[in-house]
Structure 1
Amino acid sequence: MKQWQTLVMIIILCLVALSGCSLKLPAVPLIPDRQQSGGKQDFLPIRIQGAEAWANGKEMQVRAYARKMTQYWQIRQGPALLGELTLQQLALSNGDLYYFLRYEAVEDGPHQLTIKLPLDLSGSTYRFIHYPHGLNINSSQWSEPQAAADLPVASVFLDQDGQSCFLSYINVYEKEANQVKKEHYQLGRALKPGKREILVELPSKKNHLVEQWGLISKQPLVDWQQESVRDALLVGDLNRVRKWTMEGALDITPDSYYPSSPQSFFINPACYPGQQFMNSSGARFFGDMVLVALYATADQQNQQGYWTVSTRSNWLFSEYGLPAGYYDTRWATQAALLLLRGYERYEEELFLQAAEKYGRFLLDFAQTHHFKTRRGGYLVWDYGHEDKKVPTHVSLNHLLTEMNFLYELYRSTEKIEYLQGAEKLRLGVKDSSRGWPRPEADLWYAYLPDGSYGLQDYPELTLRDLRYSQYLIREIYGSKDADLAYLIRMKSRGLVADQGGRE
């Protein structure tokens, strides 16, 4: 038997030599292979120094494109509890690894917790986003590549032979009301490259969250030669203007929210960086972060099927009495649409299940929270709260977003109830179409609870929604909707008027 095995091996080697070919491992695809759902990437081992770390639990989940592990430690000094440390990791099926560290100290103190990550940055260069004209994604720029001897207090992309990383700086957030987090950038810290390791030094601040996260790959995460890639990363930011936390994407709180400051952030269910990267191509980083965003969005969906806005809108509170933790139909629908498109790209059943769960909730909400039009169409209220049912205004952009999502959900599932729900909303748009145009130009923003139309509309948002609605209707029915065409004309005229008559 051994002679036969030896003979077969000799024949194989001869064939390879004669063909002049070399044996190569298959390339790792940018979009993960569904058959590799077990994943090849090991979880990142860390070392904790500066205090005693008592293991306090571990959770494991296996999903189609990632293995997820979350570990918890109590940080102690003798019998005294200093704080709690959490490490969440996603080992993606393409071999890349996402990790997220969070430390919450019980008391202020001079002690710091040091986490050692086994990453060798020797020979690597880094880039980061800087803001020459203030914290604004419209004017941010990329730094030149620099040697990674020392790192700035900024999120950085690092590139070296055989490895590519995205590493955030150490963010220090004060915990405010309504799950708002106020960044104290002056307390933030840079990562410290060590000998074949990175030091993550986490300060101890009571009532603060200290967070650091990263994405690690043995392949290049970004093709820096592509301008479109660089521009998309500037919009996504993930540095000072838009941030990432364990539960999802963070946006700066508008000044009409409570609490609010230019340094305060809230979790926006719409997950705009996830949307940005879903619509971008040319970088491995996009695909990785889309999966991270999709799994985070699915995890944050509540039992009823929707996503809440944890903070409080002063306008909605004063106008309708809606407290913090309200339902925003547009933002929640955008979260569900992100999941639906994630399903269409990856065929991950979890994403479709979450999208359908929201779809069923939206149908129920529309039936019980609407103004009825003359032919039985629905003008669905923009906002809701599980503890307070009160009629709110109906903005055209919210209504169209809900309708478009139901049309897309119907196209993905072929379930008639989603088409019927979309048609109820479409009938509401058609019945109200002559009320939306303003006398001079443009469209009103909202249908108000007293039956009138009013408020200033966004310059282009509603027009994009109208055009996409028309596209979906033409795809499903083969012809355009005349009332939508009318609203598109009226909105376009308003846009031209705002531009001084320039097309």
Structure 2
Amino acid sequence: MIKKFKFKHIIGMLAAFLFIFIGIQVYFLFFKTLHIQVKGNLMNENVELQANNVKLEKIKSGTKTLIKSKDYFTTYKLSSPQFSREYGKFTVTVRKLDNNDVFVFTKFQNQTKQPIIIDLSLSFGQDFTSYKVTRFHSEKIKHEHDPTLGVDPTSTPHGLIELKGKRAYANMMLSKNYNSMELIKKYNQTQQSKLRELIKETDGTEITKKGHHILINMPHFAEGQSLSESWILYSNQPLFNKKENFKEWEKHTLKEYKKINKWYTAEGPFGKLPWSIEPSTKLGYGRYFALVHDRRYVDHYENTKERYFYDFIVNSVANLLTYDSQLNKPIPTEITSTWLKDNYGIIAPYYDTRFNEYIAIHLKRISKLLDVPEYRNMSLFYADYLLKQVKKENYIKTDNGYIICDFYGKTQKKKTHASLNHSLGEMNFLLESYLETGKKEYLAVALNIKKGIEDVGDKWIKDNKDLWYQLNPNFTFHGKDYPLLTLEDLLKAQNNLEKAGINRSKIFDQLIKSKTQYLVNHKIEMTKKVIASLQQEGFGDLVKNYTNISDY
């Protein structure tokens, strides 16, 4: 009886031990963070990767020719050498620019439920003996709550790296790492809303020196079933010739971190989205066309001609072409706004007039900067789009003119509102297109929009002297106007009317005065550019001795 009891006891202990052993194995196999070491050489257009502790298999590679750049992409499958278990895919895209600088975009797709860190280590084909790191002071950023966007926890790139050797020199800008999940809401076979939910921005980059070699270690953190992305800009020339230009850019970046892209991918940059999106998340990011065009890089390049800004301008063209290979037509927004859906029945994809205006203006600017004349003609797609909206009668009719509605989508149940800043932007673009082409249809629609805004008149003005944001189809008003955007559009409109040989608008002058008085009364910051425009258009007295002025 005693022997039988001991035997059962031993069997029980063995079973318990086996259960614990299996549990430990399951934990290490499926739950503990897995580290995968991957090495590569940065000097090769087709970056060849090697892995120490996993099976690395090249499954796809190719090239894509863009404007003033070319992509070389390779995708690897990562799997266990002992078990039939696939960890995910790692894609490297080298975007070589016409000046021989390169962007390197890396993306790891974790296909398991287990957290994985890809310990990516990059070396160089040159012997660098020293390095210097200039960090962005991202700790100075105040991640304040925005009434539309909420809190944007993203910050800045890791920093600017200078590498030196006896016969070698290079500059790099290194990003931080972005871990996210792709969220998709499918409505039918042709319509869906697609965005990313940010899990975390991390900065685990380390630079080490081993003998005559410099290694860049950029870990890619990926929670289960998620994406992890980073980027590098590499040049054999200084990205900034003048230190003060970098300092000025850092100052701009820290102040306007929400408006300057930092999460770049081979498919384009991802920017913070409003809370009113579908699928719903407070940490939604998407290919947001208010940011894709990278206007601030263009502004700085025009003033400094620094290589760094040129590279990002060329990259912005590649991003647009990646989104849509044809830039001679409107580009739809791929993210559903629940505000538009609830009020008008509009779901993605749909057309946003202001976003397409940004793209068209960007094409005009880079046409000149990059000497790509065909882009100036392509930019006219937006003027033609506005003409088509008029033919569809997608506007709010006034006594003598009309105001084109802000949005258009196939599923919309009724006309949307028309915001003052959109309408002025449309009018300005049409006037400029008329001056370039002499096409009278552009002028006719521009003047009808002008009459539409003037018909509404001083009703645009609130009791506190600020302007209403939008006019609804039933002629009610709603929304808080932007601090400076509409004022900039009004000032630009008066200038464009003069260029077209048309008398300046008295109503526009009235709106400019009221908006400026509101800004002064509430001591709201104005930029040097706005102050200069006010002075140029004869409103200098309104801002005389005004001190709350910024560079941007």
Q: How does 1:11-410 map to 2 (within 5 A)?
A: 43=45, 45-49=47-51, 50-77=53-80, 80-109=85-114, 112-119=117-124, 122-126=129-133, 127-132=135-140, 134-135=142-143, 155-161=158-164, 162-177=169-184, 178-185=193-200, 189-191=204-206, 193=208, 195-203=213-221, 205-222=223-240, 223-226=242-245, 227-235=247-255, 237=257, 242-259=262-279, 263-271=283-291, 274-280=294-300, 281-282=303-304, 283-301=306-324, 305-349=329-373, 351-352=375-376, 354-368=378-392, 369-375=394-400, 377-410=401-434
Deviations 1:389-442 (A, max 9, x none): 521111100111122223334445554444444333233223333432235523
- Closer/same/farther in 2, CA of residues 346 and 112 from structure 1, 3 Å limit: same
SS state of the match for residue 225, structure 1?
helix
SS state of the match for residue 433, structure 1?
helix
Contact 2:56-2:76 within 8 A present in 1 as well: yes
Contact 1:254-1:260 within 8 A present in 2 as well: no
Deviations 1:174-200 (A, max 9, x none): 223443323333766325546433233
- Closer/same/farther in 2, CA of residues 447 and 97 from structure 1, 3 Å limit: same
Q: How does 1:390-469 map to 2 (within 5 A)?
A: 390-439=414-463, 441-469=465-493
SS state of the match for residue 73, structure 1?
strand
Q: Shift of the alpha carbon at 1:333?
A: 1.6
TM-score calculated relative to the size of structure 1:
0.78
SS state of the match for residue 457, structure 2?
coil
- Closer/same/farther in 2, CA of residues 256 and 296 from structure 1, 3 Å limit: same
Between the aligned partners of 2:161 and 2:145, the Cα distance in structure 1 is 21
Between the aligned partners of 1:354 and 1:236, the Cα distance in structure 2 is 30
- Closer/same/farther in 2, CA of residues 57 and 256 from structure 1, 3 Å limit: same
The letter for the 1-side match of 2:238 is: P
Cα RMSD of the aligned pairs, angstroms, is 3.4
Sequence identity (%): 22
Aligned residue in 2 for 1:143:
none
Between the aligned partners of 2:439 and 2:74, the Cα distance in structure 1 is 40
Q: Shift of the alpha carbon at 1:108?
A: 3.0
Deviations 1:288-342 (A, max 9, x none): 1111012212332487933333333333233223334433221232122112211
- Closer/same/farther in 2, CA of residues 59 and 272 from structure 1, 3 Å limit: closer
Contact 2:66-2:321 within 8 A present in 1 as well: no
Larger radius of gyration: 2
Q: Shift of the alpha carbon at 1:238?
A: 9.0
- Closer/same/farther in 2, CA of residues 221 and 181 from structure 1, 3 Å limit: same
SS state of the match for residue 520, structure 2?
helix
Between the aligned partners of 2:259 and 2:449, the Cα distance in structure 1 is 39
The equivalent position to 1:480 in structure 2, one of 482, 488, 504, is 504
Aligned residue in 2 for 1:31:
none
Between the aligned partners of 1:367 and 1:73, the Cα distance in structure 2 is 50
Larger deviation: 196-205 or 236-245? 236-245
Larger deviation: 45-54 or 363-372? 45-54
Between the aligned partners of 1:233 and 1:279, the Cα distance in structure 2 is 13
Contact 1:269-1:297 within 8 A present in 2 as well: no
Contact 2:268-2:292 within 8 A present in 1 as well: no
- Closer/same/farther in 2, CA of residues 69 and 239 from structure 1, 3 Å limit: farther
The letter for the 2-side match of 1:179 is: K
SS state of the match for residue 47, structure 2?
coil
Between the aligned partners of 2:129 and 2:198, the Cα distance in structure 1 is 30
Aligned residue in 2 for 1:147:
none
Contact 1:72-1:87 within 8 A present in 2 as well: yes
The letter for the 2-side match of 1:90 is: R
Between the aligned partners of 2:122 and 2:464, the Cα distance in structure 1 is 62
SS state of the match for residue 459, structure 1?
coil
Q: Shift of the alpha carbon at 1:488?
A: 1.8
- Closer/same/farther in 2, CA of residues 346 and 184 from structure 1, 3 Å limit: same
- Closer/same/farther in 2, CA of residues 64 and 240 from structure 1, 3 Å limit: closer
The letter for the 2-side match of 1:170 is: N
Larger deviation: 309-318 or 41-50? 41-50
SS state of the match for residue 405, structure 1?
helix
Larger deviation: 70-79 or 383-392? 70-79
Larger deviation: 491-500 or 326-335? 491-500
Deviations 1:4-32 (A, max 9, x none): xxxxxxxxxxxxxxxxxxxxxxxxxxxxx
Contact 1:46-1:117 within 8 A present in 2 as well: no
Deviations 1:426-459 (A, max 9, x none): 3322333343223552322211121233333223
Between the aligned partners of 2:129 and 2:180, the Cα distance in structure 1 is 30
The letter for the 1-side match of 2:423 is: L
Where do 5+ consecutive residues of structure 2 fail to align? 1-42, 147-154, 185-192, 525-541, 547-552
Between the aligned partners of 1:322 and 1:64, the Cα distance in structure 2 is 33
- Closer/same/farther in 2, CA of residues 365 and 57 from structure 1, 3 Å limit: farther
Between the aligned partners of 1:302 and 1:343, the Cα distance in structure 2 is 17
Deviations 1:261-301 (A, max 9, x none): 56432221122671111111333211111110122123324
Aligned residue in 1 for 2:15:
none
Contact 2:352-2:408 within 8 A present in 1 as well: yes
- Closer/same/farther in 2, CA of residues 247 and 406 from structure 1, 3 Å limit: farther
Total equivalences in the alignment: 449
Between the aligned partners of 2:80 and 2:417, the Cα distance in structure 1 is 55
The letter for the 2-side match of 1:48 is: Q
- Closer/same/farther in 2, CA of residues 264 and 440 from structure 1, 3 Å limit: closer
Between the aligned partners of 1:402 and 1:71, the Cα distance in structure 2 is 42
Contact 1:129-1:154 within 8 A present in 2 as well: no
Q: Shift of the alpha carbon at 1:363?
A: 2.6
SS state of the match for residue 131, structure 1?
helix
SS state of the match for residue 57, structure 1?
strand
